[in-house]
């Protein structure tokens, strides 16, 4: 794989795999009715002594549960040529989705070559609604090749909930009821006036929606918050730090999720204790 000093970006060749799993309870995101956009786009510009040509192809089509796009802007002029391919796929289930895509860009410089520029784009948008609060988690992504041109965003009514660009260690949080857009976009481009060049790589990311525990203070899971739960809460409160080896796995007494079990958690606990019976929130 030769790299031109004229290379503006790259190497990027990107394969997505986003998995959006919404759990198993009712009232989950309705991915059957989600508005889905899938786009694969490839473009090329090639100048040689034999002529100049610009090509562009875009593709993206399908219906629940499967969407696909494959765009190819390959061209040859005399002995020189370029290859530009972008693919994207998206598969939904009742409660989630998975997406994948790839890029390949190549410029072959031979006799009569003057210049070439190629670019590819892969994009998935999913607009979905949730009727009750949900947890969300984006798993750590995997890449081969540079990942700097990959962008994953989660927006709630135009407000950004999550943005991933570049190195990706995963993220999680909770979503209130409402309308959301999950967008995964990757692009790559190279250009040269004198040296052959190509680029490649992969990318994957998983995104999960889950159910929110309606009764986190019910530490023994019997649908009541009572003295039995308090006897579980108390030693965790004394231990304090969730990363303390003495703390039970998962730190369930950290009711506000800030990494320590202290007075703020006790305040949440005592409200639930007074209520005694867990809400169902379903």
Of 139 and 265, which CB lies nearer to Ca ion in the complex structure?
A: 265
Smallest distance, Ca ion to C-beta of residue 231, A: 10
CA 113 centroid distance within chain: 39
Binding region for Ca ion (CB under 5 A) out of 35-43, 81-89, 172-180, 224-232: 224-232
- Whether residue 209 contacts residue 131, with contact meaning beta carbons closer than 8 Å, is answered with no
Report in angstroms how near the CB of residue 139 gets to Ca ion at its nearest: 24
**Closer residue to Ca ion (CB): 159 or 280:** 280
Residue 254, interface with Ca ion (CB under 5 A)?
A: yes
- According to CB under 5 A, which one of 25, 256, 267, 281 is a site residue for Ca ion? 256
Nearer to Ca ion, 129 or 256 (CB): 256
Piece of 88-96, 130-138, 167-175, 253-261 that binds Ca ion (CB under 5 A): 253-261
Q: What is the spatial distance between Cα 76 and Cα 82, in angstroms, rounded to a whole number?
A: 6
Which of these ranges, 119-127, 175-183, 207-215, 250-258, lies near Ca ion under the rule CB under 5 A? 250-258
Output 171 or 240, the one with its CB closest to Ca ion: 240
Q: Are 191 and 7 in contact (CB under 8 A)?
A: yes
Residue 218 near Ca ion by CB under 5 A: yes
| Interface with Ca ion (CB under 5 A), residue from 16, 229, 266, 272 | 229
Regarding 265 and contact with Ca ion (CB under 5 A), the answer is yes
Choices 47-55, 107-115, 152-160, 258-266 (CB under 5 A): range interacting with Ca ion = 258-266
User: d(Cα 165, Cα 168) in Å, to the nearest integer?
Assistant: 7
Q: Which residues bind Ca ion (CB under 5 A)?
A: 218, 220, 222, 224, 229, 254, 256, 258, 265
């Amino acid at each position: 794989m030769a790299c031109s000093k004229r290379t503006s970006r790259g190497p990027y060749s990107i394969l997505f795999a986003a998995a959006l799993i919404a759990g198993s309870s009712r009232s989950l995101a309705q991915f059957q009715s989600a508005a889905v956009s899938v786009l694969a786009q490839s473009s090329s510009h090639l100048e040689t002594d034999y002529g100049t040509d610009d090509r562009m192809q875009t593709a993206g089509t399908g219906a629940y549960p499967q969407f696909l796009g494959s765009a190819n802007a390959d061209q040859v002029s005399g002995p020189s040529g370029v290859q530009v391919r972008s693919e994207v796929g998206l598969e939904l289930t009742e409660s989630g989705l998975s997406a994948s895509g790839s890029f390949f860009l190549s410029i072959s410089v031979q006799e009569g070559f003057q210049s070439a520029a190629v670019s590819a784009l892969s994009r998935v948008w999913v607009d979905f609604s949730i009727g009750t609060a949900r947890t969300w988690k984006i798993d750590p992504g995997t890449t081969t090749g540079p990942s700097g041109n990959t962008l994953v965003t989660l927006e709630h009514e135009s407000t950004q909930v999550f943005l991933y660009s570049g190195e990706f260690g995963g993220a999680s949080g909770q979503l209130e009821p409402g309308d959301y857009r999950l967008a995964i976009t990757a692009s790559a481009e190279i250009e040269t006036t004198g040296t052959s060049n190509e680029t490649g790589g992969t990318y994957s990311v998983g995104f999960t929606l889950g159910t929110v525990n309606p009764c986190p203070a019910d530490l023994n899971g019997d649908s009541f918050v009572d003295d039995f739960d308090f006897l579980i809460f108390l030693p965790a409160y004394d231990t304090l730090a969730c990363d303390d080896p003495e703390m039970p796995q998962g730190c369930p007494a950290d009711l506000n999720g800030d990494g320590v079990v202290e007075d703020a958690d006790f305040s949440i606990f005592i409200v639930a204790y007074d209520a005694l019976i867990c809400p169902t929130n379903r």
